[in-house]
Amino acid sequence: MTERLTIETLGQKGDGIAHVGGAAVFVPFTLPGEIVEIERQGERGRLLQVETASPERVEAPCRHFGRCGGCELQHMSEAAYRAFKRETVVEAFRRVGLEPQVADLVPCAPHSRRRAVFSALRVDSRVLFGFHEALSHRIAPISTCLVTVPEIASRLDFFEKLAVAMIDRKRELRMVVTHTAAGLDIAVSDAARLDDKLRQRILSLALAPGVARLAIDGETIVEPQAPRIDVDGIGVPLPPGAFLQAVASAEGAMAEIALPHFGKANQVADLFCGIGTFTLRLARRHPVHGVEFDSPALAALDHARRGIPGLKPVTTERRDLFRRPMTTKELNRFDGVLFDPPRAGAEAQCRELAKSTVKRVAAVSCNSASLARDAAILVEGGYKLQSVTPIDQFLWSHHVEAVALFER
């Protein structure tokens, strides 16, 4: 049964919202003011037709838009898109009672994402390879991608051939592809069991030009060149599947905003430091203590900082900051703290930080809601929230990165 609705506003995830009998209905790929025809199941509506289009509607540039779940907002004008992303950050802070100065969105260019996560699944005699559809376990096959760097987008057929060779009969295969200075780093999980015949077949495929490493379920199969990531001119070895900021220019923008905040600080702690994205940059000016739970990431950071002339001392510590956050007493020896946690945020760590004497704090986050929650904890503890800058690292999706600066 079809229904005709008027879209009133956009939700936090970019879906258009209408109301039927007082209940909200969420309709992807629509814009405020549009009159649309939909097919509804519960609170979700599937767009059938746009009867009256918004003046902010544009033609989506990708042929897979609407099915591939990677991009949700290609139908919005550039101005509307930027305003929406900034407003999601403003609204997240408003919900916790904060109204900071929020800068304009730092933009992200197409063809700039250096990491992509593909999926493959056997369906009868076929193998589907691509990205998940929105809110679905179904896989949308793709033949192009306007978000990823050309080095990834131009090799989709090759990645699919690899996936077909190693896919398990029952499990969904996951393939993380990262473009590095040495070439493509390919990390596969949930592959089929590797017997000698399959191992040789995969090995022959993986020796293709441009492949730096292929790892399957944690085992390195081939590594013609050790993958390395450039961090402010320092080559950092990349562990298989390690966390990495998705867009190099966005990473640079975060650093340009966060690092000057620490001025002439004598000691800075970098919490959830990963492979040293900010640690190594901070070490150009400050002694730094990097804290991270992932051992391979810490080993990569330690390897990278050795022998680099001009760096201030860098120390590292393996620690689960969710279960065992740094205590107020431990934090008090630092003049500044930078933290860049996973999407869940750093609530427990911020409660300790709020009681500390640390003068300056910079928070980096890919989740506006958890960032706002953590900011409220710091403000309640006596910090002033100086600014928030949204950064578009996830082009054409509702996700937005942000950097918040605090001073006691």
Token couple for 90 = 């403003």
The answer to whether the annotation marks 34 as part of a ligand binding site is: no
* Separation of alpha carbons 339 and 262, rounded Å: 13
Would you tell me the crossing angle of helices 368-380 and 78-94 to the nearest 10 degrees?
A: 40
Q: Which residues make beta-bridge pairs with 219?
A: 216
Using CA atoms in the order 92, 364, 113, 179, what is the torsion angle rounded to 10 degrees? -150
Q: Which of 108, 145, 350, 366 is catalytic?
A: 366
- Residue 335 has, within 13 A of its CA and on its CB side, a CA count of 12
- Judge whether 340 is annotated as a binding position: yes
Q: Is 366 a catalytic residue?
A: yes
Q: Is 147 within 8 Å of 395 (Cβ atoms)?
A: yes
* Nearest to 177, CA basis, from 117, 128, 256: 117
Tokens representing 81 are: 């898109």
Tell me whether residue 251 is annotated as binding.
no
Q: Is 101 annotated as a binding residue?
A: no
Contact present, 239 and 228 (Cβ < 8 Å): no
Q: Is 27 helix (H, G, I), strand (E, B) or coil?
A: strand
Q: From the annotation, which residues make up the binding site?
A: 245, 272, 292, 340
> Which residues are catalytic, by number?
366
Q: From the annotation, which residues make up the binding site for S-adenosyl-L-methionine?
A: 245, 272, 292, 340
